[in-house]
Structure 1
Amino acid sequence: MVVLNKIYTRTGDAGETALGNGARVAKHSARVNAYGTVDEVNSTVGLARLQATGDVDLALERIQNDLFDLGADLCRPDMEKDTQAEYTPLRVTDNQVTRLEAEIDEMNKVLEPLRSFILPGGTALAAYLHLCRTVSRRAERLTVELAGEEDINPAAVKYLNRLSDWFFVGARMANDGGKDDVLWVPGANR
């Protein structure tokens, strides 16, 4: 159980923060950048939820919870070698990735194939979902960068990769099943 009765601790005033295992690292470390950007994705999902209703809102709520799982996963270095761990670290699972894939496939069934790249926009929900997509792509890049330096859970990268695809397809659904997608016109303003 989490209990937060004091929000500021002053322990980060020198530019360091504690990871989930208690280790202190620079706030600009690859690991902190990765899970910090996952937190940013979660905030953009919160914005999208302001426009979402019904099943879409429920799916976004599940994604927000998954993103907290992912942040917990990324903030805790590989604990298999740590005999001091009080509990098994929370890790994103392939089942969470598979759920995203199933939801993408279900949404994609009603969409016409793309014949042009689309611009972020259309409805407010679609625009927010495109924002979620681009921030999740950044989180993915930073997580891949972290994976080049340290061992991480491979499902974390898979999850972020599928998540940005989910946001893309979800944005098309929010644009009346793709009918209101804003199409890119190459060289239109030359």
Structure 2
Amino acid sequence: MMRNLVQAGVDSIVRMSSTPTNYWVEVGVDVTLGLLLIAEGWRLHAGSPLTAFLAVVLGLFAFSFVEYFFHRWMFHTRIPLFEQGHRMHHERPLGYDSLPFFLPGAVLLILTGLCVLVVPAGFALLMMGSVTFGYIAYGLSHFTIHHVRFKHPLLRRWAGAHHVHHYHPDSNFGVTTPLWDVLLGTRYVRQPRKI
């Protein structure tokens, strides 16, 4: 009984998460959160502009790993909310399948609170604002990759790396950057054809 209730709840959230409304509301919530974190971080930051810049760069670098981690080990596992929604994306790449609009912001706020416990508040807020904008860049990049046909060769190669993931789901987990795929050996390498 309880298992059926949990599954019904997950199914309901997955259905809601597949709508254009959910997708664009999430973008709005995340942009607002990112701007608030950066503004408050800048106001509270007691260090030099160089340390503020370092916080932003560190946040973007950290997000690049978070993106890889979630895509590889959360979205391609048996955690129902993540796996089911991501499987739907692989089946319908032009759909609006995403996380529920409230979940990323809630997770980012919790992580921000934890960071404030470890590093100065201004630095933590700048860093987490940067992580938030990394997440926004990931979401918009992923959407664009599936909805735009690029003409520029570099953009085609960038988008193509993700399209390869849809045919070889054990490779190319990075969307915004191939960095972690290269470092962790999951970058797809085309095998020569056997004649």
- What TM-score comes out, normalization by structure 1 length? 0.28
Bigger share in strand: 1
- Structure with bigger helix share is 2
